[in-house]
Amino acid sequence: MSLSGRRVVDAQFGTAEVHDVYSLNDRLSLINGQVFKSLRDPSIRALALDLVRGTPQHGNESELAELSRVFWFVKKNVEYRQDPHQYDLYSTASRTIQVHAGDCDDHCTLIAALVGNLGFIPGAKVISPDGANWHIYALTSVFPRSNPQAPTARYLALDTTQSLSHPGWEPPAKFQRYARVVTFTEGGPLVQTVR
């Protein structure tokens, strides 16, 4: 799906695109686009490499160490802040780093871009208690990082927006009555309904 947008230019803050969205899939397409813009950003690649410098380079311990460093960097350096009333903003990873704040989709985009630059498959989990109010957080495959179909593979949640969260933590089941697992790809998001 291609969502065309209207371009808004501000001399101080740069360019933004305004889109009309009608569904969760429209929103996931916009987030997917921001993830891939961010994956191609050399400053995000450099940040990802700096974050994992000195970690073991092979094996399960390496994967967990790298993901833990990404998680704690975002949690400590990017405050959770809601979008303006009646607007849903989708920032690139570099914009989120620049303003040191963002909502759940901004955190997700930043983490997905960082882990994608480290060879992990970028993804997310989208959850809702009622099918109307959605929350998104990063999700990636581990053991091995690049093959989620491997018999040893599992997914690791990376929700940096919750005060007590840590790598692997997920919101309680009552908030996951409706759930989608998303894999971000160059061609658009691959969405699988879980519940």
Residue 16 lies in a domain: no
153 in Cβ contact with 147 (< 8 Å):
yes
String of DSSP letters for 121-166: PEEEEEEESSSSS-EEEEEEEESSTT-TTSTT-EEEEE-TTSTT--
Q: Which domain holds residue 41?
A: 23-193
Q: Per the structure block, which two tokens stand in for 180?
A: 């989608």
Residue 158 lies in a domain: yes
pLDDT value of position 13: 61
Q: Per the structure block, which two tokens stand in for 100?
A: 């040191």
Residue 2 lies in a domain: no
Contacts of residue 176, Cβ cutoff 8 Å, sequence gap at least 6: 127, 128, 129, 170, 194, 195
Check pLDDT > 90 for residue 40. yes
Residue 6 lies in a domain: no
pLDDT value of position 125: 97
Angle between the N-to-C axes of helices 60-77 and 104-116, in degrees from 0 to 180, rounded to the nearest 10: 140
- CATH number for 185: 3.10.620.30
Residue 181 lies in a domain: yes
Q: How many domains does the chain have?
A: 1
pLDDT value of position 14: 64
Question: Distance (Å, rounded) from C-alpha 192 to C-alpha 195?
Answer: 9
Check pLDDT > 50 for residue 1. no
Which of 129, 135, 29 minimizes the C-alpha distance to 82?
135
CB count in 10 Å sphere of residue 172: 7
Residue 11 lies in a domain: no
42, amino acid identity: P
pLDDT value of position 4: 55
180-185-188-190 Cα dihedral, nearest 10 degrees = -30
Q: What is the mean pLDDT of residues 75-104?
A: 93
Contacts of residue 84, Cβ cutoff 8 Å, sequence gap at least 6: none
Q: What angle do CA 59, 108, 164 make, to 5 degrees?
A: 80
Q: Residue 5: which pLDDT band, with cuts at 50, 70 and 90?
A: low
Residue 177 lies in a domain: yes
CB count in 10 Å sphere of residue 99: 14
* pLDDT tens by residue, 110-136: 999 999 999 999 999 999 999 999 999
Q: Residue 158: which pLDDT band, with cuts at 50, 70 and 90?
A: very high
Residue 9 lies in a domain: no
